[in-house]
Amino acid sequence: MAAVNLGAWLCALLAAVAGVLPAADALGMNWGTQATHPLSPRIVVQMLKDNGIKKVKLFDADQGTLNALAGSDIEVMVAIPNNLLDLMNDKDNARDWVRHNVSRYHFDGGVNIKYVAVGNEPFLASYNGTFDKVTFPALQNIQNALNDAGFSEIKATVPLNADVYNSPANNQVPSAGRFRTDVAPLMTQMVQFLANNSAPFTVNIYPYLSLYLSEDFPVDFAFFDGLAKPLVDGVNTYTNVFDANFDTLVSALAAVGHGDLPIVIGEVGWPTDGDKHATNALAKRFYDGLLPRLAANTGTPLRPKQYMEVYLFGLLDEDVKSVAPGAFERHWGVLRFDGQPKFPMDLTGNGQNTMLVPAKGVQYLPKTWCVYNPNAEDKSKLVENVNYACTFADCTALGMGSSCYGMDVNGNASYAFNMYFQVQNQKDEACDFQALAVPTQTDPSTAACSFPIQIAAASSTSGGHRRARAGPLGAAALLVLLALVQLLMSH
Ligand SMILES: *[C@@H]1O[C@H](CO)[C@@H](O)[C@H](O)[C@H]1NC(C)=O
Ligand SMILES: *[C@@H]1O[C@H](CO)[C@@H](O)[C@H](O)[C@H]1NC(C)=O
Ligand SMILES: *[C@@H]1O[C@H](CO)[C@@H](O)[C@H](O)[C@H]1NC(C)=O
Ligand SMILES: *[C@@H]1O[C@H](CO)[C@@H](O)[C@H](O)[C@H]1NC(C)=O
């Protein structure tokens, strides 16, 4: 067989193999846990299985999470948070980290660890260079520790924000993409190291943020339905910012001699509340465009017809995520905080738009809400009390453009009081607010604005579960000990 024919035959074979892969095989989920009442890892893992999701990306290496993933065969990206990067500059610490958080779990029937994320967006411009010096040595030490432990198949990678590259302001086409000047030498070294270790470049791409951050941004460019005036770049045309952004990175990689380095999309998604463009309808529009392209291995103009490894952000809403970037931050989940789907999605890419399978076995607190007391005598401290509630609970649904915007002062107060009451596990004293609040059995929710009931603490954390069992056991042990002491003393 002539070489050229062999090549063609291989391509056909690869296309055939790729063709039968459902999108869900390529799709991963970011599983963040910055919530007051995180779902138990066991419930989440079952939900991932029920939805055919085969990859997760974590933000730490939490023991309860990894134990729940053991035996599931789900591919896992464990992570080293930014605040540990400094520590990982020491080779022994890096070796310890790998021993404790990788070797302990990575065996047949254990956790299928595929990547270690070293830091999370450490070169964000807003970090002012805090992690510039510590990231690359940490990456090297972790990959070397993995290799030394016999796990060279596990790849260390640094999930980077897309702001590590750009195209010059006067020529904003993907082919002009270069790494940001202040991190360019660093990025060049890192890319070389990744290439040496056959590790991928991991990047987070957010069309939503392009839209959020610029009033002039053409809305249609954030989606995948076509654009009246596409962006023309030589022979290539771009009708969505996702492709344009991806190819800007491909160009930046090519400019440092690694145009073919594999790229993993560490995060991509669309939030559903907290901003006028953060709605279920627009999130659905975004995923309805993205998922079929992934299933079909559409690729981008610079990397056409390619399989793309993608992790959606995110799996669940997280009610204590920092809102510094915006109120939408707590609403990235394709599922609510309690594992209920928000809108139909097509994870398979073969045209089945269905609700995801919800979390099973979630235990809720009783159906009690806390609302503004219309009979309150002294209303002078209402503002202070609402502010207090919103300091310790999530009120981001109240803002302009959000799902609960437009209620009157009392409606706002009811929402805030209820969120606080739920976060406090419906403790009696959490529904008082200087007699401005009363509990109620009537659901105050409207079609647009949901007043949630929180998850019961016992079912929400694996730790709580274990503590609950340790209690009586510990007490029994103490009683036995006391009895023994008494026995000894009486003799
Ligand atoms: C990982 O390993 C280190 C030991 O190097 C340990 O202190 C830490 O708690 C482990 N877990 C996480 C989540 O980093
Ligand atoms: C970065 O610098 C800005 C402006 O000087 C400052 O407001 C911000 O707090 C700094 N951020 C960090 C993470 O140091
Ligand atoms: C990558 O490998 C080459 C060839 O072995 C070596 O010269 C180079 O120093 C390595 N680069 C990095 C950043 O590790
Ligand atoms: C309700 O709260 C939101 C968010 O703080 C605010 O923008 C809005 O003006 C409030 N509405 C009233 C009537 O006070």
Per-residue confidence at 186, pLDDT binned at 50, 70, 90?
very high
62 touches ligand 1 (CB under 6 Å): yes
Q: In what order do the strands lie in the sheet with 112-118?
A: 155-157, 112-118, 75-80, 55-57, 27-30, 309-312, 263-268, 201-204, 159-161
Q: pLDDT tens-digit profile of 37-57?
A: 999 999 999 999 999 999 999
Question: What pLDDT score does 31 carry?
Answer: 98
Tokens representing 387 are 């502010």
Whether residue 215 contacts residue 209, with contact meaning beta carbons closer than 8 Å, is answered with no
| Whether residue 354 has pLDDT greater than 60 | yes
Per-residue confidence at 439, pLDDT binned at 50, 70, 90?
very high
* DSSP bridge pairs for 286: none
63 touches ligand 3 (CB under 6 Å): no
Q: Which atom of ligand 3 is nearest to the CA of 196?
A: 1
Pick the residue whose CA is nearest to atom 4 on ligand 3: 196
Summarize the confidence of residues 186-215 as an average pLDDT.
Answer: 97
| Whether residue 109 has pLDDT greater than 70 | yes
| Whether residue 461 has pLDDT greater than 50 | no
Residue 314: partners with Cβ closer than 8 Å, 6 or more residues away? 29, 30, 31, 32, 267, 269, 332, 333, 334
- Please state, rounded to an integer, the average pLDDT across all residues of the chain: 90
* Distance between Cα 454 and ligand 4 center (Å): 23
Per-residue confidence at 348, pLDDT binned at 50, 70, 90?
confident
Which ligand minimizes its atom distance to the CA of 383? 4
* DSSP bridge pairs for 29: 56, 312
87 touches ligand 1 (CB under 6 Å): no
| Whether residue 424 has pLDDT greater than 60 | yes
Q: Which atom of ligand 1 is nearest to the CA of 80?
A: 14
Whether residue 403 contacts residue 419, with contact meaning beta carbons closer than 8 Å, is answered with no
Per-residue confidence at 168, pLDDT binned at 50, 70, 90?
confident
For the stretch 318-323, contacts whose Cβ atoms lie closer than 8 Å and that sit 24 or more positions apart, written own/partner, are 318/32, 318/33, 318/34, 318/35, 319/34, 319/35, 319/36, 319/37, 319/393, 319/394, 319/423, 320/34, 320/35, 320/36, 320/394, 321/32, 321/34, 323/274, 323/396
Reported pTM: 0.89
Pick the residue whose CA is nearest to atom 1 on ligand 2: 128
Within 6 Å (CB) of ligand 2, which residues are found?
126-128, 130
**Which has the higher per-residue pLDDT, 92 or 2?**
92
Which ligand minimizes its atom distance to the CA of 398? 4
Burial (CB count <10 Å: 0-12, 13-18, 19+), residue 16 = exposed
Q: What's the CA gap between 54 and 363, in Å, rounded?
A: 26
Grouping H, G, I as helix, E, B as strand and the rest as coil, residue 315 is coil
189 touches ligand 3 (CB under 6 Å): yes
* Distance between Cα 248 and ligand 3 center (Å): 25
Q: Which atom of ligand 4 is nearest to the CA of 412?
A: 1
- Distances from the Cα of 246 to the Cα of 84, 87, 469, 473, angstroms: 29, 32, 49, 55
* Distance between Cα 407 and ligand 4 center (Å): 7
User: Among 16-25, 224-233, 272-281, which is the least confidently predicted range?
Assistant: 16-25
Summarize the confidence of residues 317-345 as an average pLDDT.
Answer: 97
Pick the residue whose CA is nearest to atom 14 on ligand 3: 193
| Whether residue 460 has pLDDT greater than 70 | no
| Whether residue 74 has pLDDT greater than 50 | yes
Per-residue confidence at 23, pLDDT binned at 50, 70, 90?
low
| Whether residue 473 has pLDDT greater than 80 | no
Per-residue confidence at 24, pLDDT binned at 50, 70, 90?
low
Q: What's the CA gap between 425 and 427, in Å, rounded?
A: 6
Question: What pLDDT score does 220 carry?
Answer: 97
pLDDT cut 90: percent of the chain above it: 84
**Which has the higher per-residue pLDDT, 222 or 18?**
222
Pick the residue whose CA is nearest to atom 7 on ligand 2: 126
* Distance between Cα 281 and ligand 4 center (Å): 24
172 touches ligand 3 (CB under 6 Å): no
| Angle in degrees, 0-180, between the axes of helices 382-392 and 409-423, rounded to the nearest 10 | 40
Question: What pLDDT score does 14 carry?
Answer: 40
Question: What pLDDT score does 451 carry?
Answer: 98
Tokens representing 413 are 């107060």
The DSSP H or E segment spanning 55 is: strand 55-57
- Tell me the CATH number of domain 23-57+158-331, given options 3.40.50.300, 3.20.20.80, 3.40.50.970, 3.30.470.10: 3.20.20.80
Active-site positions read 121, 267
Q: What's the CA gap between 145 and 100, in Å, rounded?
A: 12
Q: Where do the CATH 3.20.20.80 domains begin and end in the chain? A: 23-57+158-331
Residue 101: partners with Cβ closer than 8 Å, 6 or more residues away? 61, 66, 78
Pick the residue whose CA is nearest to atom 13 on ligand 3: 193
Q: What's the CA gap between 59 and 228, in Å, rounded?
A: 39
79 touches ligand 1 (CB under 6 Å): no
